[in-house]
Amino acid sequence: MKITAELCVIPMGVGVSVSRYVAACEPILRQAGLNPQLHAYGTNVEGEWDDVFAAFKRCHQAIHDMGAVRVFTTVKLGSRNDRAQSNDDKIASARSYFD
Amino acid sequence: MKITAELCVIPMGVGVSVSRYVAACEPILRQAGLNPQLHAYGTNVEGEWDDVFAAFKRCHQAIHDMGAVRVFTTVKLGSRNDRAQSNDDKIASARSYFD
Amino acid sequence: MKITAELCVIPMGVGVSVSRYVAACEPILRQAGLNPQLHAYGTNVEGEWDDVFAAFKRCHQAIHDMGAVRVFTTVKLGSRNDRAQSNDDKIASARSYFD
Amino acid sequence: MKITAELCVIPMGVGVSVSRYVAACEPILRQAGLNPQLHAYGTNVEGEWDDVFAAFKRCHQAIHDMGAVRVFTTVKLGSRNDRAQSNDDKIASARSYFD
């Protein structure tokens, strides 16, 4: 099953500056072939369900390995069986209605 | 990796009454041994990472099979490596501070 | 506009035990008349849009006042203009499909 | 209280193509001075708490006015009292750790 998804990780117990941990996910998501797109409230990806969540698990493990005792994560995801739709397609579709 | 998680599924393109689709997830989560706890904005579960996301995938597939062309889902999840903590533990911990 | 909503607050920079901060929201939500229902991944409430978000703002301020330099929050919310539906109605509706 | 936030609206009961509704939020957020940044899983904004949620309320009302009987929304938001941090600052901070 093809999905698009958004990952937002919050390491806990490591202070208020968490960019270093967010950044550690980027190579994991890229090497998994998920076409990561970083934004200010997460990273958007796309791929097969199993590949996406295997990579998200590696992100959690990497953040723990960096010293975060606790990791809180939010994910949004979507699947559709009528047609393929990438993250770029979604943005283009919304923009087509802009003035 | 042990996690607790919250699943909230929104079938799209099937009208505004979606309880039937939400309810279809319950036996999937129960049979996976994830101790599901339904509330008004999702279902909380707990278990091994791989078991949790395999079950969430089956929920998506079940909802598509019921006729929803598109499924939008939000997940919250947490892992910690200092100690085990169940969903019931989390609630009890917060309640311990109530008057 | 009547809404139902879920609030999940994550204080950052205060260590991994955050129950004390979560618990501080409960009296704020209760005194606002929002019928809070605590679960393991947040607190569900219901009421008028302005009352809900005024109370959520007071929760953020209370958590900052307790010493958290940074607060990360997730909210889910729903409005519908066909009929009134409480959080208890939503749960009952899903349960009606259970075996 | 200054915040950054992410808004993701899901109109229900209007079929599977929802870009038109998402797009309707853009001018509302822009006219409120919230510096909206559209991505594939929502729109990031920044501003004073009251301005942000007043605009989000107008988005809900606009989507109802376009014919959606039910609107499901997720919001992520953050406040910090140690220093100002824009959405662009957050992205730049994460990118500074990239190879």
Which residue segments constitute the domains of chain D, with CATH numbers given?
Answer: 2-95 (3.30.70.930)
> Hey, what are C74's tokens?
């997730």
Q: Would the pTM of this model clear 0.90, i.e. be above it?
A: yes
Query: Among candidates B22, B35, B20, B50, which has minimal Cα distance to B88?
Result: B35
Is C79 in contact with D69 (Cβ distance < 8 A)? no
In angstroms and rounded to an integer, the radius of gyration of the C-alpha atoms of chain D is 15
* pLDDT, tens only, A9-64: 999 999 999 999 999 999 999 999 999 999 999 999 999 999 999 999 999 999 99
Q: What is the dihedral of CA A12, B60, B87, C14, to 10 degrees?
A: 10
D99 has a pLDDT exceeding 80: no
Q: From CA A19, how far away is CA D57, in angstroms rounded? A: 31
Q: What is the mean pLDDT of residues A66-90?
A: 96
Q: Is D77 helix (H, G, I), strand (E, B) or coil?
A: strand
Q: Are the CB atoms for A45 and A29 separated by under 8 Å?
A: yes
User: Of C51, C77, C90, which to mutate for an interface test with D (greatest number of D Cβ within 10 Å)?
Assistant: C77
Which own/partner pairs from B89-96 qualify as long-range (CB within 8 Å, at least 24 positions apart)? B90/B4, B90/C19, B90/C40, B91/C38, B91/C39, B91/C40, B93/C17, B93/C19, B94/C19, B94/C22, B94/C23, B94/C26, B94/C38, B95/C23, B95/C38, B96/C19, B96/C23
Q: Which chain A positions have a beta carbon within 8 Å of B11's beta carbon?
A: none
> Hey, what are D86's tokens?
């824009």
Q: Any chain A CB within 8 A of the CB of B1? A: yes
> Hey, what are D45's tokens?
């904004």
Q: Any chain D CB within 8 A of the CB of B20? A: no
A82 has a pLDDT exceeding 80: yes
Given this model, what pLDDT does residue A11 score?
Answer: 97
Q: Any chain C CB within 8 A of the CB of D92? A: no
D61 has a pLDDT exceeding 90: yes
The residues with which A12 forms a beta bridge, in sequence order, are A70
B41 has a pLDDT exceeding 80: yes
Q: What is the mean pLDDT of residues B3-29?
A: 96
Q: What is the DSSP secondary structure assignment for residue A39, as one 8-state letter?
A: E
Is B71 in contact with A80 (Cβ distance < 8 A)? yes
By CA distance, what is B16's nearest residue in D? Answer: D13
A99 has a pLDDT exceeding 80: no
Letter string b/e over residues D26-41, b meaning 16 or more CB atoms within 10 A of that residue's CB: bebbeebebebbbbbb
B62 has a pLDDT exceeding 80: yes
Q: From CA D14, how far away is CA B12, in angstroms rounded? A: 8
For residue B12, give the amino acid letter.
M
Query: Among candidates A22, A78, D79, which has minimal Cα distance to B75?
Result: A78
Q: Which chain B positions have a beta carbon within 8 Å of D7's beta carbon?
A: none
Q: Across all residues in chain C, what is the average pLDDT?
A: 96
Q: Is C82 helix (H, G, I), strand (E, B) or coil?
A: coil
Given this model, what pLDDT does residue C33 score?
Answer: 98
Residues 31-70 of D with CB under 8 A from A: 37-42, 44
Letter string b/e over residues B66-78, b meaning 16 or more CB atoms within 10 A of that residue's CB: eebbbbbbbbbbb
Q: What is the mean pLDDT of residues C57-61?
A: 98
D24 has a pLDDT exceeding 90: yes
Categorize the per-residue pLDDT at C26 as very low, low, confident or very high, splitting at 50, 70 and 90: very high
Given this model, what pLDDT does residue B46 score?
Answer: 98
User: Of C6, C14, C16, C71, which to mutate for an interface test with A (greatest number of A Cβ within 10 Å)?
Assistant: C16
- What stretch of H or E contains A27? helix A19-31
Q: Count of CB contacts below 8 A, A vs B?
A: 67
Given this model, what pLDDT does residue B52 score?
Answer: 98
Q: Which chain C positions have a beta carbon within 8 Å of A10's beta carbon?
A: 10, 12, 72
Q: What is the mean pLDDT of residues D17-35?
A: 97
Is B10 in contact with D70 (Cβ distance < 8 A)? no
C99 has a pLDDT exceeding 90: no
Q: Any chain A CB within 8 A of the CB of D79? A: no
Q: Any chain A CB within 8 A of the CB of C30? A: no
Is D23 in contact with A88 (Cβ distance < 8 A)? no
Q: From CA A45, how far away is CA D82, in angstroms rounded? A: 31
Q: What is the mean pLDDT of residues C47-71?
A: 98
> Hey, what are C8's tokens?
């999940």
> Hey, what are A25's tokens?
């996910």
Residue indicated by tokens 């901060």: C21
D60 has a pLDDT exceeding 80: yes
Given this model, what pLDDT does residue A45 score?
Answer: 98
Q: Are the CB atoms for C43 and C6 separated by under 8 Å?
A: yes
Q: Which chain D positions have a beta carbon within 8 Å of C71's beta carbon?
A: 78-80
* pLDDT, tens only, C30-55: 999 999 999 999 999 999 999 999 99
Given this model, what pLDDT does residue D8 score?
Answer: 98
Is A74 in contact with C74 (Cβ distance < 8 A)? yes
3-state percent helix, strand, coil for chain A, nearest multiple of 5: 40, 30, 30
Name the region of C86 (left: φ>0; alpha: ψ -120 to 50; beta: rest): beta
Q: What is the mean pLDDT of residues D50-76?
A: 97
D64 has a pLDDT exceeding 90: yes
> Hey, what are A10's tokens?
């919050």
% pLDDT > 70, chain C: 99
**Candidates D49, D74, D80; nearest CB to C57:** D49
**Candidates A23, A82, A98; nearest CB to D94:** A23
User: Of C75, C90, C93, which to mutate for an interface test with D (greatest number of D Cβ within 10 Å)?
Assistant: C75
Q: What is the mean pLDDT of residues D87-99?
A: 93
Given this model, what pLDDT does residue B44 score?
Answer: 98
Categorize the per-residue pLDDT at D59 as very low, low, confident or very high, splitting at 50, 70 and 90: very high
Q: Which chain C positions have a beta carbon within 8 Å of D53's beta carbon?
A: 53, 57
